[in-house]
Amino acid sequence: MSTLTATAEEPRTSSARPAYRVTGRRVLASEWAKLWSLRSTWITLGLGLLFLVAFGLISASRYKSGITSGNIDRDFAHATAVSLSLFGTNFAQLALGVLGVLVTAGEYSTGMIRSTLAAVPRRLPVLWSKAAVFGLVALVVGTVGGFVAFLFGSGIVSGTPAAMSLSDAGVLRSLLGAGLYLGLVGVIGAALGALLRSVAGGISVLVAALMLIPGLVTLLPSSWQNDISPYLPSNAGESMFALTHDSTSLSPGAGLLVFLCWTALALGGAAYRLVRSDV
- Does 271 score more than 50 pLDDT? yes
Q: Could you tell me the pLDDT band of residue 197, with boundaries at 50, 70 and 90? A: very high
In sequence order, what are the residues at sequence separation of 6 or more whose Cβ sits closer than 8 angstroms to the Cβ of residue 66? Answer: 72, 73, 76
Q: Which of 34-38, 72-76, 163-167, 228-232 has the least mean pLDDT?
A: 72-76
Q: Could you tell me the pLDDT band of residue 118, with boundaries at 50, 70 and 90? A: confident
- Does 195 score more than 80 pLDDT? yes
User: Tell me, what's the pLDDT at 121?
Assistant: 84
User: Tell me, what's the pLDDT at 159?
Assistant: 84
pLDDT tens string 137-160: 999 999 999 999 999 999 998 888
- pTM for this entry: 0.89
Q: Could you tell me the pLDDT band of residue 162, with boundaries at 50, 70 and 90? A: confident
User: Tell me, what's the pLDDT at 2?
Assistant: 46
pLDDT tens string 13-30: 444 555 567 788 889 999
pLDDT tens string 73-96: 777 778 899 999 999 999 999 999
Distance separating alpha carbons of residues 174 and 177, to the nearest angstrom: 5
The mean pLDDT value of the chain amounts to 88
Q: Which of 59-68, 96-105, 267-276 has the least mean pLDDT?
A: 59-68
Higher pLDDT, 263 or 225: 263
pLDDT tens string 94-116: 999 999 999 999 999 888 889 88
